[in-house]
Amino acid sequence: MVGLQILAIVIFVAVFTLATLRKVHLGVIMLAAAAGVGIWLADMEMDDIIGGFPVSLLILLAGVTYFFAIAQQNGTVDRIINVVITRIGDRAMLLPFAMFGLTTGIAAMGAPLAGLVMMPIAMPLAKKYGINRTLMGIAVGSGISGGGFAPTSLFGIVTYGTAHSVGIDLNPLLLFVIALAFNVVLLLTAFILFGGLKLLKSPERFDRDTTPRPGFATKDPLPSHPFEREGYTTRSRAVATTVLERASEAPPASTPMTLAQKCTVVCMAGLVLSVVAVAMVGLDPDIGILCFVFATVMTLVDPSTGRAAVAKIDWSTILMVGGIITYVGVLQTMGAVDMLGEAASSVGTPLLAAFIICLIGGLVSAFASTTGMLAALVPLAIPLVSGGDIAGWAVIAALGVCSSIVDVSPFSTVGATAVATVDEDERPRVTANLTRWGLSMVVVGPLAMVGALVLPTML
């Protein structure tokens, strides 16, 4: 039986590697592999295999992405960005923090990589006002990482949704606060290391009226799934071209708000207040259903944007996460996950085991899909906390953050997009800086997160 368990794990790793190298959809291959392994190695019935597909997570992802797709389609997100840019003031030294804040807000609206729309806006501004392009790239990348763990965004949904499915009580708001706080620390560190202190003495000011704006309502959704692109560089430059077109075609900020936009703002506020209110009374809010409820109101107000938003639901990610979790369910039925727990206990200390799995998450995520890594590693980390020596929420939160902060590496989507949006003569320097920063996060992240979150739970 042990031999079959090991073979199932080897197949799991092989499928992940094959999908990455061949640039094909991981979810499709993983579902097929789950069926094959479940029937021939685990002697499972097909109904039991399919029963492992996370329907509740599917509803959550579909509801959130549909809700915010409507907000993008009817121009509400563009309106919010315009208002923020107008009100942040005109000091150039504030630009990295402004871009971080805007990107965080955009990334919190369902799809973290939607924050890439800020990259070709931030980089030209950095050049014009003498801001280190590496600093600006890290500012946008950190915003994507921090905002992505919001209760309404993909990284957060996958992390706490997967944790809840295996019995770990991880508070979505706590996860978001941890990720956001750590990324703020990283931004402040980058601000010091990459010339930010010089900006404090700079009299440079930027023109808010001529600053380009993204136009979510005018284009199709950004490409978001790494296994569907022909290569990291090609994909990232395609994203850069798309967002540059959006910036040049965005509608003016002075147009009055439509009824649909006013309704959307009310519904966004209602969603936030509903989640907070339900959580305060001690209940677990179903964010996916709440998103569908408010999306229904928005659709009835403006049916055309509701119809168009259906195409923007992140079906690709839903299939990927569903495939991975279905396969992990087969591994759990076979006892392979428990076997990994016994192997982890042989390491000697749960703290070291937690550090190793965070290190693995960061290293692989620097070159592959962060979402895929979260869906794969969160269930496999469960044996680490089965003994009760360390808190499950701390390990999962640490793993999630460690898997996302490495995305500024040029080998990943965010970093490659940053490189693609700077002038060609600057690309070697920015590539080298982001490579050092991203790969250093592979070690710095686990050390900091395990030390700050996991270690205190053992004392």
What's the rounded Cα separation, in Å, for the pair 168 and 457? 15
**What's 230's DSSP letter?**
S
Structure tokens at 13: 């790793």
Strands, DSSP E only, in 11-116?
Answer: none
| pLDDT number for residue 209 | 53
Which of 42, 75, 447, 455 is closest to 251 using CA atoms?
A: 75
Q: Are 410 and 141 in contact (CB under 8 A)?
A: no
**Which tens digits make up the pLDDT trace of 278-329?**
878 877 778 889 999 999 999 999 999 999 889 888 788 788 888 988 998 8
Give the predicted TM-score (pTM) of the model.
0.80
Give dist(CA 42, CA 45) in Å, integer.
Answer: 9
Residue position matching structure tokens 């808190």: 391
Q: 435 near 409, Cβ under 8 Å? A: yes
Q: Is residue 167 scored above 80 in pLDDT?
A: no
Residue 58 is predicted with a pLDDT of: 86
Highest mean pLDDT among 356-370, 407-421, 440-454: 440-454
Alpha carbons within 13 A on the beta-carbon side of 396 = 35
Q: What is the largest CA-CA distance in the chain?
A: 71
Average pLDDT over residues 227-256: 52
Contacts of 50 (CB under 8 A, 6+ apart): 326
Angle at 373 between CA 370 and CA 379, to 5 degrees: 140
37-51, 190-204, 291-305: the lowest-pLDDT one: 190-204
Of 152 and 226, more confident:
152
Distance CA 360, CA 350 (A): 15
CB 363 within 8 A of CB 33: no
Question: What is the total residue count of the chain?
Answer: 459
Percentage, residues of the chain above pLDDT 90: 32
Helices 315-334 and 370-380, packing angle to 10 deg: 20
Residue 343 has pLDDT above 80, yes or no: no
Per-residue tokens: 447: 């050390």
Q: Are 147 and 106 a contacting pair, CB within 8 Å? A: yes
Q: Which has the higher per-residue pLDDT, 298 or 75?
A: 298
Q: Which pLDDT tens digit goes with each residue over 110-124?
A: 778 778 778 877 887
Residue 344's nearest CA partner among 377, 367, 366 is 377
